[in-house]
Structure 1
């Protein structure tokens, strides 16, 4: 499956120097689908050297030229959607339609930043006397170490690669070793588009080894991570020794507030579609459902009905609407969360177990829990799985208080037909992104990111490129 790829260093594909490899497993069958190189210290040093050697010339490349290269990458990727999506399904299990949608969204990142590369605006201020001019310029921060998670193997790397290249930074990317193929495809498209050698490098291997080695290097000037909160805290500590620029997009535990004036059935169907996408393994997945007591019963019934209608199976089967979880560890954690909720009195309306029809694969039934107490683990910990816990509320202040009571702050959602209620709730939620009567938040033109322990920095939109730029001020006196 990965025969034409490997480590991508200084414009070349190659195996690890010590020949070590890591197996990649299909979560729907538990079968090995291929191996990828396990980069060692020598490989990482070569990737760092390549990024350092290319840094000055790439930073000096005019924005218009960087734009043309990004557009060529985008155009090349559009020819690869079918094959790349099928590879993604084999790695992470999501249905093929979801994989195609994700790959197209990743292409949008390259398309968007092809424009932003030409729009890195500084500004000029009048001096305090007639003989001076004050100028603020933006310059690339320098070589970037980028680390991405497995759950969106195309979109997450694309957000970092496209913005960094547009800003004039070179990149050493470490994608997830569980879902590496999309990053390989991006590197191959960049090579064919004529991106200079060393500007983009891709390494695979053991996450802790690679992160420690790359971040410790003086070559790296900025680090970007999409991952869990514990990993984000570890990366932040590693960055502290070298005072590295850092942006973090970490976990979430998105509350959903369904107010009394909302249509409970329509809201429930929208929530189910978003909740069980990628088997709930989505950082902005709606994961705590607070429903006004007056419409709680029809909402819960519709949510359960939607969950029961989903069809589990291999993502390559066109009938599949919900695939497996990524690995046994994730499924076991979901099982423990459900067991904890039930032990505290929660009622299982749908799912709640491994499906009996599969004897292989990391499948778990789409699960709806009702009357879930606030003290349960599933209401306090990011579930990152196909669990929808429902609770009721009586007042606006109660709903907001419970929604904001976790350390997470990535996304939140509101359902209401009242403009006043919707605005009040959106303003009150302590999160980086809010969806009102809509749960599809991510797109290339918006700034994606969170607050509190969900991280800092933004990816996408006009703001996304700023994380890869440094401001420099020049005061010039005319002589």
Structure 2
């Protein structure tokens, strides 16, 4: 029997006012129901915001180390349930056990990290021009934060929004994606068990078009943090900024890896394959394009095709690559594969759904490699969000950088090279918020800023590390004349 989950509002687990629920399924076996969640309304969302607003002053005045103690205990609570949450994430989102376990551990680490940051939440002391004057700054919380999170990292992304918001003294309401909200609900179970005061953090499940819109537009909300599609993100940004709210959005990507003439080709193929096909390509930082120097192009194509073809597909508890999260995501990927064929790209491996008993019901697709991809092809320009790699040949380094930058996105980029000058130039010239040398485009450290350029971000505030705290605080300058 599927687990029944409730909203968490004002310190109480509660049913939605609509009385309606929605079920999630296992994408590897869609006939299996995983969880039953509240199909909440705008009225439910408004109650959650009002609870957060009522709790705001008391939480803001709570000493930061005391807030940190609750975050620390939350991390410990999640750690105690790591195996359980790993299995839930795999069943609900489709990641492999290794990928899901890594994501759960990241959420644990994020709460531990921000728990320690609360010890250093003071401002800075400056020298005053006048005598008998203390001149210093103090960071104060923004207020009530509305958090909207996607399904592809259903515990890590909520964690890296929730933890800094609470550490800085804000209260919040989270609306997670309806496809895989179970592990996000678990964060609130951990917070509740850690002794979080009533109303400080609230979660309301249900459609973003209703619940998300309600919390974003509520007058008591001071800040909005959104991660998701570009189309929705731009609407969120416009609506929130029109109301004078502080906003950060992290959106899509079309991330390149440049393979230079000096690259170790086998190493380059391994790096690109890991970035392209890990988490079934369902990452905003996934490698979607390989831009390869003509001198190593044929060798690279052979190597990356062989790696893609060798990946074992199946349910995430047993295989190397799991399913896509839903039928609509699978259909979208298959449509782009047809687009690539029609554009004249060469399909070297994959391109369809795998055959076999274990694939009968699930949303599985083969790791796919297209070669001979023109820089203006749709599969080289548009985000696919599936395990599809477009390989483009270039004549020199300058052309490689130009092709890498010739998209509307700018989230993550990497280069594989043994030429230090090329590496340094790429770090400088790449139009991306995250740039790597001899590494895959996916994978982020939690203590440094994360965000994109161009259409990948609002280019306002970064997430994670100290930057994550910056978004949730306002600096006050104090002149204390004694």
TM-score, length-normalised on structure 2? 0.96
Gaps of 5+ in 2: none
Work out whether residues 341 and 373 of structure 1, in 8 Å CA contact, stay in contact via their aligned partners in 2: no
> How much is the aligned-residue C-alpha RMSD, in angstroms?
1.4
> Within 2, Cα distance between the matches of 1:4 and 1:134?
54
Give 1:128 shift. Answer: 3.0
Contact 1:26–1:92 (8 Å) recurs in 2: yes
TM alignment of 1:39-438, pairs within 5 A: 39-316=40-317, 318=318, 320-357=319-356, 358-438=359-439
- What's the CA shift for 1:273? 1.6
Task: Please list every run of at least 4 consecutive aligned residues from structure 1 whose deviation after the TM superposition is greater than 6 angstroms.
Answer: none
- Describe the SS at the equivalent of 1:454: coil
| CA deviation after TM superposition for structure 1 residue 131, in Å | 4.8
The corresponding residue for 1:461 is 465
For 1:8 and 1:379, the matched residues in 2 are separated by 42
CA spacing shift, 1:461–1:56, aligned 2, 3 Å: same
Q: Measure, in 2, the Cα distance between the counterparts of 1:11 and 1:237.
A: 32
Deviation of the 1:183 alpha carbon? 1.0
> Is contact 2:133-2:480 (8 Å) kept?
yes
Contact 2:250 2:456 in 1 (8 A): yes
Q: Is the 8 A contact 1:21 1:36 kept in 2?
A: yes
TM-superposed CA distance for 1:133, in Å, is 3.8
Task: Name the CA distance, whole Å, in 2 between partners of 1:246 and 1:105.
Answer: 24
Distance 2:371 2:47 in 1: 54
Structure 1 residue 340, shift from structure 2 partner? 1.8
In structure 1, runs of 5+ residues without a counterpart are none
Q: Aligned residue for 2:443?
A: 441
Contact 1:133–1:477 (CA<8 Å) still a contact in 2? Answer: yes
**Aligned mates of 1:91, 1:388 — CA distance in 2:** 25
Contact 2:241-2:247 at 8 Å conserved across structures: no
Conserved? CA contact 1:24–1:33, under 8 Å: yes
State the 1:471 CA deviation.
1.1
Query: Contact 1:445 / 1:461 at 8 angstroms: preserved in 2?
Result: yes
Give the distance between the partners of 1:76 and 1:266, measured in 2 at CA: 39
Q: Deviations over 1:360-406 (max 9, x none)?
A: 11111000111111221111101110101101111221111111111
Contact 1:435 1:441 in 2 (8 A): no
More displaced stretch, 155-164 vs 433-442: 433-442
| Post-superposition CA distance 1:126-153 (Å, at most 9, x none) | 2333254432211000110000000011
Conservation of the 8 A alpha-carbon contact between 2:35 and 2:182: no
SS in 2 for 1:171: strand
Distance 1:129 1:34, change over 3 A: closer
DSSP-derived class of the 1:117 partner: helix
Secondary structure of the 1:294 match is coil
TM-score w.r.t. the length of structure 1 is: 0.97
Contact 2:416 2:438 in 1 (8 A): yes
Deviation of 1:344 after TM superposition, in Å, equals 2.3
User: Does the aligned pair in 1 maintain the 2:103–2:153 contact within 8 Å?
Assistant: yes
Cα distance, 1:450 vs structure 2? 0.9
Per-residue deviation, residues 106-125 of structure 1 (Å, max 9, x unmatched): 11110110111121231232
Q: Does 1:473 align with 2:473?
A: no
Deviation at 1:427, TM superposition (A): 0.9
Residues in 1 aligned to 2:88 and 2:334: alpha-carbon distance in whole angstroms: 28
Q: For 1:90 and 1:25, how far apart are their aligned partners in 2? A: 8
For residue 97 of structure 1, give the secondary structure of its aligned residue in structure 2: helix
Distance 1:5 1:130 in 2: 60
CA distance in structure 2 between the aligned counterparts of 1:373 and 1:430, rounded to whole angstroms: 20
